[in-house]
Chains A and B, each alone.
Chain A
Amino acid sequence: MTRLAWRVTLAILILGGPAACNRDASTATRGAPRVAFVMKTLNHPFFLDMQRGAQEAADRAGLQLVVQAAEREIDVEKQMQIIENLLQTGIKVLIVTPSGSREIASAIVKANRAEVPVILVDTRVDPKAAADNHLRIASFIGSDNYEGGRLAGEHLAKSTGGKAHVAVLEGIPGHETGDSRLRGFRDALQKHPGMSIVASQPANWERDQGFTVFQNMLQAHADIDALFACSDLMALGAVEAIAAAGRSGRIRVVGFDALDDARRAIAAGQMEASMAQSPRDMGRLAVEAAARLLKAEPVPPDQTVPIELVTKGS
């Protein structure tokens, strides 16, 4: 019997604590419609900026915003579980940045069945998966990643005089976001016969993998003089690898996302450029669209947030 008492006390301590805190925090917006924002991850500055933009918009619109994310960005199953769980709590709108553009379909089916409108941010659902499952998506908000990749390619072609041995660090294979950037970049380089891609490998969006993969690339191809990384984290990892190889300043690195760290690296001349997305605007637009849906007002099915080139001069 003492054991039972033990466990009950412990469970109350462990669970009751956060539960109590949570109740206090939510009193301000209690009764307000709940909007859920399920992110890919919360340990990335990009998504933290998005969260900030979303929270600001929710405060203005008087909505209660619930933000959750899986522990790991690529964990599509955990993201689905979170969505299933939140659908149980009577949310009015579901905003998602899908961890997988095909896998998300099963979760959207469940939201559709519960009659909860779905807004996608950053990553589109795969068109075939959407058609196969008859998905209803109220709105998509994201960057034009293809255009960003194309701009990055054009910039590299211009700054190298149209002649370079180019390496590419890809994101997780099969991710629509990274694939679009890659396609845009490759299409831009095709117009410049002097630009050849000598190596192209995934570093799974991660900084440490960007370091090791690019280190290996430098071993295999000593002639690399330009790098396009599909994200800044990978680019920053590669910058470290370049420094370790004693070749700082001799390889032009173009990243994507224009993170603060990347902006500093650009100012210091370690990186050449990055493509600035506006995650904060995306978060804001998503919540504003949710607010309009709640008032039964029409929302645009597709909103693109512009991408800008960030260089030392700009």
Chain B
Amino acid sequence: MTAHLLRARATRQLGTFAGLVALSVVLWAATPHFLTVSNLLNVLEQTSINAIVAVGMTFVIVSGGIDLSVGSILALSGIALARSLEAGLPAPLAIGIALVTGLMCGVGNGLLVTYGRLPSFIATLGMMSIARGGALMAAEGRPISGFSEGFRALATARAAMIPAPVIITGVIYLVAHFVLSRTVFGRATYAIGGNEEAARLSGIQVRFHKTLIYGVAGLTSAAAAAILTARLNSAQPTAGTNYELDAIAATVIGGTSLLGGEGTLLGALIGALVMGVLRNGLNLLNVSSFFQQVVIGTVIIVAVLIDMGLKRGRR
């Protein structure tokens, strides 16, 4: 990768980050409740679930695919977790079962895309319905709730004031960033997204890596499910509806191209924060909930428009 390209990528992130800062400045000017330690921690905690789902989404989108099933996989993993806790399994084992559930669903997506040769849109659309139905069946349509204090610490614990979900999100991002930027798997992800045929010809095991990429998306959805379940003290078969759209939005606001081959996790994290700060700010300002949706949609479109304009300008 040339130095020029590296610099281009860094500036793009700087742009998204500047957007986040500008947004915060506006909110700070508009309401005294925004820039307080407790509110900022509150925003970080609220953002954690979307941010974690966006990790897997970034891997998939960088590889040139899309994953519509992450919200449903989140629900199914959450129910698997709740059922295990209900059966009296210790919390770490129950969380392990949830993670395996998510991973299996993701790998299922991956196999459909690679060996089944289905477009990722179709494979994950099918999985979206299958996992949702599975969650409803496993839960008999009802929420499962009432868990031990120990398990709920996943959402309620604090270390030096920082809520546990924020710390977990930070750790997941550090690990995922290392994987995406410093490992063979990460380089394969970019290569496949850039030009799949070229990646194959240069000796990358495309099927293997792609299957794994969807597995990562399933895994991060399951991790988000564990936090959501602890946070609400309840697992719902209808949880995570539309979360795939929030995760896609966070990813593209962060400068990841839906065409594949480029994008970073730092961008996704900033994108998730933009969405979280925006929702929080609109609540603080008491903007009508209908207009909030208009604002969020506008921000997504404008962020991508600016990004595209800049890319064109640089060429």
Residues 126-155 of chain A, each 1 if its beta carbon lies under 8 Å from chain B, else 0: 101100110000000000000000000000
Residues 4-41 of chain A, each 1 if its beta carbon lies under 8 Å from chain B, else 0: 10111011101110110010001000000000000000
Tell me if B33 is interfacial: C-beta within 8 Å of chain A.
yes
Taking a contact as CB atoms under 8 Å apart, the answer to whether B233 and A102 are in contact is yes
Taking a contact as CB atoms under 8 Å apart, the answer to whether B39 and A88 are in contact is yes
Taking a contact as CB atoms under 8 Å apart, the answer to whether A71 and B38 are in contact is no
Cα A228 to Cα B88 with chains together (Å): 39
Q: How many whole Å from B64's CB to the nearest CB in chain A?
A: 26
Taking a contact as CB atoms under 8 Å apart, the answer to whether A18 and B291 are in contact is yes
Taking a contact as CB atoms under 8 Å apart, the answer to whether B241 and A15 are in contact is no
Taking a contact as CB atoms under 8 Å apart, the answer to whether A105 and B285 are in contact is no
Cα A75 to Cα B240 with chains together (Å): 9
Taking a contact as CB atoms under 8 Å apart, the answer to whether A76 and B232 are in contact is yes
Contact residues of A between 51 and 102, Cβ < 8 Å to B? 66, 68-72, 74-77, 80-82, 84-86, 88-90, 100, 102
Taking a contact as CB atoms under 8 Å apart, the answer to whether B310 and A89 are in contact is no
Tell me if B162 is interfacial: C-beta within 8 Å of chain A.
no
Q: Is the interface of A mostly helix, strand, loop or mixed?
A: helix
Across the two chains, which residue of chain B brings its CB closest to A84?
B42
A88-B241 CB under 8 A given contacts A15-B27, A18-B285, A105-B233: no
Q: On chain B, which size bracket covers the interface?
A: 35 or more
Taking a contact as CB atoms under 8 Å apart, the answer to whether A15 and B281 are in contact is yes
Cα A55 to Cα B314 with chains together (Å): 53
Taking a contact as CB atoms under 8 Å apart, the answer to whether A102 and B302 are in contact is no
Contact residues of B between 142 and 173, Cβ < 8 Å to A? 142-143, 145-146
Across the two chains, which residue of chain A brings its CB closest to B233?
A106
Which residue of A70, A90, A102 is within 8 Å of B234 (Cβ)? Answer: A102
Across the two chains, which residue of chain A brings its CB closest to B287?
A18
Contact residues of B between 272 and 292, Cβ < 8 Å to A? 279-292
Taking a contact as CB atoms under 8 Å apart, the answer to whether A173 and B142 are in contact is yes
Q: Which of B14-22, B193-201, B258-266 contacts A (4 or more CB under 8 A)?
A: B14-22
Tell me if A42 is interfacial: C-beta within 8 Å of chain B.
yes
Q: Which of B109-117, B123-131, B179-187, B293-301 contacts A (4 or more CB under 8 A)?
A: B293-301
Taking a contact as CB atoms under 8 Å apart, the answer to whether A85 and B27 are in contact is no
A103-B236 CB under 8 A given contacts A7-B22, A77-B49: yes
Tell me if A193 is interfacial: C-beta within 8 Å of chain B.
no
Taking a contact as CB atoms under 8 Å apart, the answer to whether B142 and A174 are in contact is yes
Cα A19 to Cα B288 with chains together (Å): 11
* Residue of A69, A90, A174 with most chain B CB atoms under a 10 A cut-off: A174
Which residue of A82, A106, A129, A132 is within 8 Å of B283 (Cβ)? Answer: A82
Q: Which residues of B contact A66 (CB under 8 A)?
A: 286
Taking a contact as CB atoms under 8 Å apart, the answer to whether A7 and B15 are in contact is yes
Which residue of A4, A6, A70, A129 is within 8 Å of B233 (Cβ)? Answer: A129
Taking a contact as CB atoms under 8 Å apart, the answer to whether B233 and A22 are in contact is no
Which residue of A3, A18, A81, A174 is within 8 Å of B279 (Cβ)? Answer: A81
Q: Which residues of A contact B30 (CB under 8 A)?
A: 15-16, 19
Tell me if B36 is interfacial: C-beta within 8 Å of chain A.
yes
Taking a contact as CB atoms under 8 Å apart, the answer to whether B228 and A77 are in contact is yes
Cα A208 to Cα B241 with chains together (Å): 18
Tell me if A269 is interfacial: C-beta within 8 Å of chain B.
no
Taking a contact as CB atoms under 8 Å apart, the answer to whether B232 and A174 are in contact is no
Tell me if B239 is interfacial: C-beta within 8 Å of chain A.
yes
Q: How many whole Å from A156's CB to the nearest CB in chain B?
A: 25
Taking a contact as CB atoms under 8 Å apart, the answer to whether A106 and B232 are in contact is yes
Q: How many whole Å from B188's CB to the nearest CB in chain A?
A: 32
Residues 230-247 of chain B, each 1 if its beta carbon lies under 8 Å from chain A, else 0: 011110101101100000
Tell me if A202 is interfacial: C-beta within 8 Å of chain B.
yes
Q: Which residues of B contact A133 (CB under 8 A)?
A: 233
Which residue of B26, B228, B306 is within 8 Å of A12 (Cβ)? Answer: B26
A3-B18 CB under 8 A given contacts A19-B30, A68-B283, A103-B145: yes
Taking a contact as CB atoms under 8 Å apart, the answer to whether B299 and A14 are in contact is yes
Q: Which residues of B contact A68 (CB under 8 A)?
A: 283, 286, 289
Cα A46 to Cα B202 with chains together (Å): 62
Across the two chains, which residue of chain A brings its CB closest to B278?
A15
Cα A126 to Cα B33 with chains together (Å): 32
Smallest CB-CB A-B distances: 9 pairs: A85-B283, A173-B141, A174-B142, A19-B30, A102-B145, A7-B19, A8-B22, A88-B39, A11-B22
A interface residue numbers (CB < 8 A to B): 3-4, 6-8, 10-12, 14-16, 18-19, 22, 26, 42-43, 66, 68-72, 74-77, 80-82, 84-86, 88-90, 100, 102-103, 105-106, 126, 128-129, 132-133, 172-174, 202
Q: A85-B280, A88-B284, A89-B31 are in contact. List 17 more A-B contacts (CB 8 A).
A: A7-B19, A11-B26, A12-B22, A14-B298, A15-B295, A16-B26, A26-B286, A76-B232, A76-B239, A77-B231, A77-B239, A80-B231, A85-B39, A100-B236, A103-B234, A106-B232, A173-B142
Of the A-B pairs whose beta carbons lie under 8 Å apart in the complex, a sample of 21, sorted by A's number, is: A4-B15, A4-B22, A11-B23, A18-B282, A19-B31, A19-B285, A68-B283, A69-B289, A75-B241, A76-B236, A80-B232, A85-B39, A86-B283, A88-B284, A89-B33, A106-B233, A129-B145, A132-B146, A133-B233, A173-B140, A174-B143
B interface residue numbers (CB < 8 A to A): 15, 18-19, 22-23, 25-27, 30-31, 33, 36, 38-39, 42, 45-46, 49, 140-143, 145-146, 228, 231-234, 236, 238-239, 241-242, 279-293, 295, 298-299, 302, 306, 310
